[in-house]
Amino acid sequence: MLKRIFPGFLGLTVFLAACGPQGTPTMAAADVQNTAMAAAWTMVAATQLAIPTATPVPPTETASPTPLPTFTPLALATLPGLFPTATQAVAADPDTCLKVLNVAEAGPLKRTVIENKAGGPLNLSLNLTQKNAFGQCGALQYQLQKNGTIHIEIPVGFWYAYAWITLPNGSSEASGSFEVRVGAVQSGKLNIGKDVISYLSP
């Protein structure tokens, strides 16, 4: 009887096994490794995309040094040698006579008439070339029109006169030296010619 039951039981077992749920298929080891690597690289790529990119800071422009403008001194429209330049005034000796004359402290004054007989307008420089008895020296400057006359008062001392004359056909220079003395005569005359300056003390 056992021989009859066993074949039937075996057939039932095979039938039940065939009709039962199928088992979950397993992946090969190589496939598992490849899948893990792909997932890892996907995560790395996603991480890199999530990192904010550093925006490069624009370079700061360095200002190049700009040279200061240079100033060329202009030629004075006055007589050459009348007054010292600023550089000369700073570097000059305090006792220099290259300065404007301090008439107020130069002692007694003598009336003088200046006549322009040079034939054109002129610039005149009168220079007390050395200190007089009152310790003063320096220069005075005047302008005269053609055939012009002016009345001035100048202190006693040794003078040098220089005139720059504008003529229709060019220019001319006149100069001369004279002394103004203290005395009974109260006035003098300075005549300016085309080439020479002369002083008359009647």
Q: Does position 59 have pLDDT exceeding 80, yes or no?
A: no
% of the chain surpassing 70 pLDDT: 52
Q: How many domains is the chain partitioned into structurally?
A: 1
Looking at residue 182, what is its pLDDT? 76
Helix, strand and coil content of the chain, in percent to the nearest 5, comes to 25, 30, 45
Torsion sign over Cα 92, 93, 94, 98: negative
> Does residue 184 form part of some domain?
yes
Q: Does position 79 have pLDDT exceeding 80, yes or no?
A: no
> Does residue 104 form part of some domain?
yes
Q: What values do phi and psi take at 15, rounded to 5?
A: -65, -45
> Does residue 164 form part of some domain?
yes
Question: For the segment 19-39, what is each residue's pLDDT rounded down to a tens digit?
Answer: 555 554 555 655 545 554 554
> Does residue 33 form part of some domain?
no
Confidence tier at 48 by pLDDT (50, 70, 90): very low
> Does residue 176 form part of some domain?
yes
Q: Does position 44 have pLDDT exceeding 80, yes or no?
A: no
Rounded distance, CA 33 to CA 19, Å? 34
Domain region containing 132? 99-200
CATH code (residue 176): 2.60.40.4150
Confidence tier at 181 by pLDDT (50, 70, 90): confident
Residues 6+ apart with CB under 8 A from 52: none
Question: For the segment 80-96, what is each residue's pLDDT rounded down to a tens digit?
Answer: 444 444 444 444 577 78
The pTM for the full model equals 0.55
Q: Does position 41 have pLDDT exceeding 90, yes or no?
A: no
Residue with tokens 């074949």: 7
> Does residue 138 form part of some domain?
yes
> Does residue 60 form part of some domain?
no
